[in-house]
Amino acid sequence: MISVERVIEYTDLVKEASWELEYRPLPSWPKKGLIFFDNVNFSHMLDGPRVLRNMDTGFYPGQKVSLSHLPL
């Protein structure tokens, strides 16, 4: 019966606040995102080796992108 009691406890919990935002972006806010990287370098630690070197690229709305790293 413990599992049934636990379910009943969950049904009695106070609901969390809604994820709906009270404020909306201005109408002039862009409808679609666009991200450009220009000469980007990245490492996992401050003193670690760079895993991305001089990356220049753009990611366009609706585009699916995957970045992966293989050791050299």
Q: pLDDT for 3-54, tens place per residue?
A: 888 888 888 888 887 777 777 778 888 778 888 999 999 888 899 988 888 9
Give the burial class of 48: count Cβ atoms within 10 A of its Cβ; 0-12 exposed, 13-18 middle, 19 or more buried: exposed
**Structure tokens of 18?**
């809604």
Do residues 38 and 56 lie in contact, with contact meaning Cβ atoms separated by under 8 Å? yes
- Strands 50-59 and 35-43, by their bridges, are antiparallel
Distance between CA 23 and CA 13 in Å, rounded?
A: 27
pTM passes above 0.75: no
Give the pLDDT score at 1. 62
Residue 8, helix vs strand vs coil? helix
Residue 69, helix vs strand vs coil? coil
